[in-house]
Amino acid sequence: MKDVVMPMAPRLSRGSHRVPADGMCVMELASMVAGEPFTDHPRCVHPTLAKVARLVNDTVHDADRQQLVPLLPRLMTPPATDPAAPLMIALSCVDSALECAPHWSLRRYRRRILRQLDRLGQHGELSPMGDMRFQLTVAGAIELAVGVVQHACRGALITLLTDAATTHAALVPPADDSAPVEREVEAAEPDLALV
């Protein structure tokens, strides 16, 4: 996949913003590139991957945040329909964090995710209580992984997000059209320069 080149790309900043003139996070930039309404919850990014991206965006140093822009094509793949995708993205985050720091809580989340993947594989769907546990596990694992990486080896936060995006992309069936996201990003460059 080729790199996104945005000569006058807006400066990414922490948090969510009401309008582009106030600044934008990487997910708000993704919404603009995709032609969606300005939001930090764009439809063009899997919701779990978007959560990871928002956390990383808000955690990295200001000087490093611009490194998130070239990740847009990986982040903006069509959302995977596989019900295991959120767990797989969370597992990727936990595994990336474990490479930085073998924290016992990360190992516990990893076991919990693997058990839930096994249950999902056996039953195909979860009970309402199982689904709630599923969502809590995914959110808790991602937040812990980003927090551990932030404190243990901050420089690996972008790698954590890259790994999560790669995991998600592997779950998406290949499209007939070659690299539609990259063309959308390139087509949006002039609009971004005006922001």
Contacts of 187 (CB under 8 A, 6+ apart): none
Query: Phi and psi for 80 in degrees, rounded to 5?
Result: -65, 140
Identify the pLDDT of residue 11.
77
Is the pLDDT score of 93 beyond 90? yes
**Distance set, CA 30 to CA 43, 82, 182 (Å):** 9, 22, 12
Identify the pLDDT of residue 2.
42
Give 61's pLDDT tier (boundaries 50, 70, 90): confident
Identify the pLDDT of residue 110.
97
Identify the pLDDT of residue 177.
53
Q: Could you tell me which residue, 82 or 188, shows the higher pLDDT?
A: 82
Residues in the chain, how many? 195
**Distance set, CA 176 to CA 85, 114, 117, 179, 188 (Å):** 21, 32, 29, 9, 22
Mean pLDDT of 6-26: 72
Q: What proportion of the chain, given as a percentage, has pLDDT over 70?
A: 84
Mean pLDDT of 153-167: 87
Mean pLDDT of 122-129: 80
Query: Phi and psi for 12 in degrees, rounded to 5?
Result: -75, 145
Distance CA 83, CA 107 (A): 23
* Domain residue ranges in the chain: 20-194
Give 53's pLDDT tier (boundaries 50, 70, 90): very high
Is the pLDDT score of 1 beyond 60? no
Identify the pLDDT of residue 87.
94
